[in-house]
Amino acid sequence: MNKHYYAAILAGGLGTRFWPKSRASFPKQFLDILNSGETLIQSAYKRYAAFILPENIYIITSEEYVNIIKEQLPEIHHENILAEPSRKNTAPCVAYISFKLLQKDPEAALVVAPSDHIVTDEETFKQLSLQALNFAKQNSAFVTLGVKPTYPNTGYGYIQYDASGSKEENVFRVKTFTEKPDADLAKTFLASGDFLWNAGIFMWDVKTVINAFEQYQPEMFELFSSEKNNLNTNDEKHALERIYPLCVSISIDYAIMEKANNVFVIPADFGWSDLGTWNSAYTNLNRDEKGNAIISENVITFETNNSMISAPEEKLLVLQGLEDFIVIDTKDVLLICKKEKEQQVKEFLAEVKKKKGDKYL
């Protein structure tokens, strides 16, 4: 394994769309959503440990989740769990890990990825990730893995690439990034043949990304530059506490990727899914002869079809007459909603907070 290759797994999200199973105190990246025997963060760590040295894998999270990560990933070094003092989207945490690695290893190349995705073809993922890291290192470029779309999904961002010629085998220059489109636009993207799903997996040389911060996010660059000598020291935590309140909350996509002119994409198919909603869990779970995906051994259904059902093993759930429903039962909350209305979960949460406070969040 290349000693200059690193991974940063982002694990600070709240996972609100998987409520009520995902809670602010224990969000989805720490759950076994698919009943596979591994939590999402455990699967992500194993995925990157296949081609990145364990001591070069970092988890970026929030302070309140550090102990959960230690429990679920006992093999990871404590100093490799990086706790942000506040949530400021992905650009500040990318700046943090990049400045930190530059002080430690000026030759570092980095893959940054979410902790809550599914990858079923891990060998292909490994090979493409290594190709992307090599290309990024050799060309001072930004590289992302774009997933070949199979249907006009409106929940993903899209990447348009120049299919007329490749810089290297299967490596193409990115033309545009587009946020989640409406249904008609998603259909147009799919028909054009030169759009990919944005998996949010990025590779770059740390010098390249820090230069980009200097060019495109000069204020954030100055904040981290002013404290860079305190990173990898006992004063690192205090340095972050000085930096983060002054950082703008912005994604790395908006901050850098959509502005830079040296961005490339590798079209890929490695069994990827952004496990973002209960519907996406439904599509990735085994379903019975009636199309029901059931996470429990203690559910009995009658005249119930094409539904997503999760329930505690200690409770018997009997359901009749449901069609295309999501049913999520926990010890203190029961959610029942139509699958087509799942995007309203955040609205449900807002109403719960308004009427019941933070108890059920």
Burial of 3 (0-12, 13-18, 19+ CB in 10 A): exposed
Q: Encode pLDDT of 217-250 as tens digits.
A: 999 999 999 999 999 999 999 999 999 999 999 9
pTM value is: 0.93
Say if residue 166's pLDDT is above 80: no
Structure tokens that stand for 282 in this block: 């439904």
Q: Encode pLDDT of 336-350 as tens digits.
A: 999 999 888 989 999
Q: Which residue type, as a one-letter code, is found at position 40? A: L
Give pLDDT, residue 169.
Answer: 81
**What is the sign of the dihedral through the CA atoms of 130, 124, 265 and 111?**
negative
DSSP for residue 253: I
Q: Which domains does the chain have, with CATH numbers?
A: 5-274 (3.90.550.10), 278-356 (no CATH)
CA 347, 348, 353: angle at the middle one, nearest 5? 95
- Mean pLDDT in residue range 317-344: 94
What is the Cα–Cα distance from 288 to 290, expressed in whole angstroms?
Answer: 5
Going from the C-alpha of 303 to that of each of 146, 278, 293, 329, 346, the distances in angstroms are 40, 21, 14, 19, 29
